[in-house]
Amino acid sequence: MTATQTRTSRAGDKLSGRVAFVTGGTRGIGAAICRSLAAQGADVAAGYSGNTERAEMFAQDFSGAYPDSRMSVHRGDIASPDDCRRTVAEVIERHGRLDILVNNAGITADRTVLKMTDDDWRRVIDVNLSGAFYLSQAALKHMLERGSGRIVMISSVIGETGGIGQSNYASAKAGLLGLTKTLAREAAMQVQRSGKTDGLGITVNAVTPGYTATEMLESVPEKVLDGLKGKIPLGRLGEPEEVARVVHFLAADASGYITGQVWGVNGGLDM
Ligand SMILES: NC(=O)c1ccc[n+]([C@@H]2O[C@H](COP(=O)([O-])OP(=O)(O)OC[C@H]3O[C@@H](n4cnc5c(N)ncnc54)[C@H](OP(=O)(O)O)[C@@H]3O)[C@@H](O)[C@H]2O)c1
């Protein structure tokens, strides 16, 4: 990587000195979020659950593209409260602080309600909703000590509209919106009570991507995908980078007056 390429990777310095933990940060939307945060100067910790090969590939590519950004990867199952607490502690230990938590990791296990197994229901709720709760709880404690922080939930348009075969996923993603608003209220209240109001505050927001071109969509049959595209006013799938740019915007210090909000990135799908 030459100095010129380094400069090209860096798009700004809105997040200089900040440390971000992005769950599911080693591929798909999460990897794009890591890159966009690093492009604004943040140091980045990327979480993953078990695909070590992809995590290593991500780490190698990332270090080449953003040599100025300190980066680490952290393995843990976010369905496990202990793993959530451990990985947040690891990030703080490794980087000295945690300014930005992006609850991005998520899974699908689609089946119609009548065919949904207890395990498919529980696993998707545990990963997609409970994981974000445990991680936010651990991060919030640290952010409250300093009086500043940013939490961004990656929900889904399906959490707002529902989706055939996705009762578990839609319920978890809708649950994230309630969690976002409650955390936003509690964080604001606690920051005000603590008197640590340096102007940055702690904000909590959600992003609801529409259908986005990642491996998550690989299980959707081509014909179904064509049908879905036909319903998107902009006529195409979203790109991970198009979700990521909203996340780095929300993570910036200057976005401190935006909290408890839901940001759609879906090509107009929910109009
Ligand atoms: N793609 C879409 O169309 C779309 C639309 C709306 C919302 N979203 C949401 O956006 C987020 C990212 O989606 P994506 O399409 O980028 O997904 P993806 O390509 O399938 O990547 C998922 C990431 O999450 C990690 N992960 C999965 N289960 C985990 C667990 N139990 N503990 C910790 N990490 C775990 C994976 O780690 P490993 O690599 O180790 O498996 C991977 O890094 C998800 O929350 C998804 O629901 C996606």
* Residues 140-197 pLDDT 10s: 999 999 999 999 999 999 999 999 999 999 999 999 999 999 999 999 999 999 987 7
Q: Is 159 in the pocket of ligand 1 (CB under 6 A)?
A: no
Q: Whose CA is nearest to atom 29 of ligand 1?
A: 49
| Distance between Cα 219 and ligand 1 center (Å) | 13
238 lines ligand 1 (CB under 6 A): no
Taking residues 122-127, report their average pLDDT.
Answer: 98
Range of the domain at 143: 3-265
Q: What is the CATH number of the domain that holds 243?
A: 3.40.50.720
Average of per-residue pLDDT across 91-96: 98
Residue at 110 is within a domain: yes
Provide, rounded to the nearest whole percent, the portion of the chain with pLDDT above 90.
92
107: CA distance to ligand 1 center in Å? 6
Q: How far apart are CA 40 and CA 63, in angstroms?
A: 15
Q: Is residue 6 over pLDDT 50?
A: no
Number of domains in the chain: 1
> What is the whole-number distance in angstroms between the Cα of residue 59 and the centre of ligand 1?
17
Q: Give dist(CA 84, CA 211) in Å, integer.
A: 27
Is residue 79 in contact with ligand 1, taking CB distance under 6 Å? yes
User: Which atom of ligand 1 has the smallest separation from the CA of 158?
Assistant: 6
State whether the beta carbon of 49 lies less than 6 angstroms from ligand 1: yes
CA of 106 to the centre of ligand 1 (A): 4
**Cα 141 from Cα 32, distance rounded (Å):** 27
Per-residue pLDDT of 259-270, as tens digits, reads 999 999 999 999
Pocket flag, ligand 1, residue 147 (CB < 6 Å): no
Residue located nearest, by CA, to atom 37 of ligand 1? 48
Asked if residue 249 is part of any domain, the answer here is yes
Confidence check: pLDDT of 4 > 50 = no
Query: How far, in Å, from the CA of 20 to the mean position of ligand 1?
Result: 17
The closest alpha carbon to 172, from 218, 112, 123, belongs to: 123
- E strand or H helix at 121, and its extent? helix 118-125
How many Å apart are CA 149 and CA 95, to the nearest integer? 15
Task: Give me the residues paired with residue 150 across strands.
Answer: 100, 203
Ligand 1 within 6 A of CB of 107: yes
Catalytic residue among 48, 134, 169, 211: 169
Contacts of 59 (CB under 8 A, 6+ apart): 26, 46, 71, 73
Assigned domain for 177 exists: yes
pLDDT of residue 219: 84
Pocket test for ligand 1, best of 44, 62, 107, 243 (most atoms within 8 A of CB): 107
Given this model, what pLDDT does residue 198 score? 65
Taking only the tens place, the pLDDT of each residue in 18-67 is 999 999 999 999 999 999 999 999 999 999 999 999 999 999 999 999 99
Residue 255 lies in a domain: yes
Domain presence at residue 228: yes
In a domain, 271, yes or no: no
Cα 9 from Cα 189, distance rounded (Å) = 38
Residue 10 lies in a domain: yes
Q: Which residue has the higher pLDDT, 102 or 222?
A: 102
Q: Is the CB of 243 under 6 A from ligand 1?
A: no
Active site annotation includes 257: no
Domain-located, residue 198: yes
